[in-house]
Structure 1
Amino acid sequence: MLRGINLGKRQLKSAELKAVVEGMGFTEVKTILASGNVVFEAGDAAPEAIERDLHAALERATGLKSEVFVRNRADLEKLVEANPFPEEAKARPSYLLVTFHRAPPDRAAIGRLAESHDGPERMVVVGRELFTDFPEGQGRSTLVPAMQKARLAQGNTGRNWNTVRKLLAALGD
């Protein structure tokens, strides 16, 4: 998952992304949606190495600098199983956001933000991911700017529940 792709001037065509990943020697490459999601067979390659190498390959091939977050099928399966908002995921999956981080988010900082925020949103840290339920959507939420101000939005990328499920489905069995 690439951060901030196809937002404003940060444009990357799916075909370009696929070509870069294939050029790295990975197989079974499929892009998902047009927002910087790609699944592929990586063999025994370490996720951290893939993140580093894909970042460098994208910059060389396209000039685009984007943070890269890698999760394998087992990671996504555990994530889906651990979803703290299963009813919300069924009822309004596009309003449930999973934010992927390199390291576990600061639970204390998120707890302080949750306590001080008066909106209907709820946040739960599971491992190194943050689940945020936006019952009224993100567009008018006052939580998003509060998270940015609290510097909780550094070094991560978010996907709604629909996309998380599509990524897992694209990985197959």
Structure 2
Amino acid sequence: MKYCAFLRGVNVKGTNMKMADVCQVFKDSGMKDVVSILASGNIVFSSDKNADELKIILEKAMSEHFSYEAFLFIKSQLETEKFWNSIPFEKNDDLHIYGFVGMAGVENVLMEEFEKAAQTENEKAEIINDMFYWQVPKGNTLDSTFGKVLGKKSLKDQMTSRNVNTFEKILKKMT
């Protein structure tokens, strides 16, 4: 089965790693057809194991190899396609659209946080098929009230986000 591993916190805040090295850790852990997409920690691969088993195996291997506490989220090709096909916002050159991959139920935590945060003009959030989507004007991602909430330590092991353009690149590699 084809999967994508979405790594949390890669190549930001001092956690730097080459994607070629990450791919090698995946190969050494028994994964097949391993390829990286961008430098933000998106690894497409094949395995006969289920996502829960893969998460345990790959987090342990990544943590040991890179000496950091690895957090990654495994999604099948079908789940990734479902995510892509459910994007609720229209593409717009002035806006970023992000999707959040994470633990079951994190979408509700994110929506609660979003609703408490002050929003800028054209900033929106929706949950579709248990997935949280966020639209924010370009240039406001890190400065927005909600963007600052995303850096909370309490959320770091629960989710990671990607621009929807990244999901498009991932799906192209999966098919």
**What displacement does 1:114 show?**
2.3
Cα pair distance change 1:140/1:15, threshold 3 Å: same
Cα pair distance change 1:148/1:77, threshold 3 Å: same
1:2 paired with 2:3, answer no
Given that residues 52 and 68 in structure 1 are in contact (C-alpha distance below 8 angstroms), is that contact kept between their aligned partners in structure 2?
no
Given that residues 86 and 129 in structure 2 are in contact (C-alpha distance below 8 angstroms), is that contact kept between their aligned partners in structure 1?
no
With structure 2 as the length reference, what TM-score do the two structures score? 0.84
Q: Which sits farther off after the overlay, 103-112 or 49-58? A: 103-112
Q: Which of 159, 162, 169 is matched with 2:172 structurally?
A: 169
Runs in 1 of length 4+ with deviation above 6 angstroms? none
For 2:99, the equivalent position in structure 1 comes to 98
Q: Which of 5, 11, 32 is matched with 2:37 structurally?
A: 32
Residue type at the aligned position of 1:165: E
**What displacement does 1:158 show?**
0.6
- Alignment root-mean-square deviation, CA: 2.5
For 1:19, the equivalent position in structure 2 comes to 24
Cα pair distance change 1:123/1:19, threshold 3 Å: same
Q: Which of 120, 131, 136 is matched with 1:129 structurally?
A: 131
**What displacement does 1:126 show?**
2.4
Cα pair distance change 1:145/1:25, threshold 3 Å: same
Q: Which sits farther off after the overlay, 45-54 or 127-136? A: 127-136
Distance (Å, rounded) in 2 between the aligned partners of 1:95 and 1:12: 26
- Give SS of 2:72's match: coil
- Give SS of 2:106's match: coil
Distance (Å, rounded) in 1 between the aligned partners of 2:114 and 2:7: 26
Q: Which of 46, 57, 62 is matched with 1:58 structurally?
A: 62
What aligned pairs does 1:76-155 form with structure 2 within 5 A after superposition?
Answer: 76-85=80-89, 87-88=90-91, 91-92=92-93, 95-105=96-106, 107=108, 110-111=111-112, 113-114=114-115, 117-120=118-121, 121-137=123-139, 138-146=141-149, 155=158
With structure 1 as the length reference, what TM-score do the two structures score? 0.85
Residue type at the aligned position of 1:53: I
Bigger fraction of residues in strand = 2
Bigger fraction of residues in helix = 1
Contiguous gaps of at least 5 residues in structure 1 = none
Distance (Å, rounded) in 1 between the aligned partners of 2:161 and 2:62: 20
Q: Which of 65, 72, 78 is matched with 1:74 structurally?
A: 78
Distance (Å, rounded) in 2 between the aligned partners of 1:59 and 1:152: 19
Contiguous gaps of at least 5 residues in structure 2 = 1-5
- Give SS of 1:34's match: coil
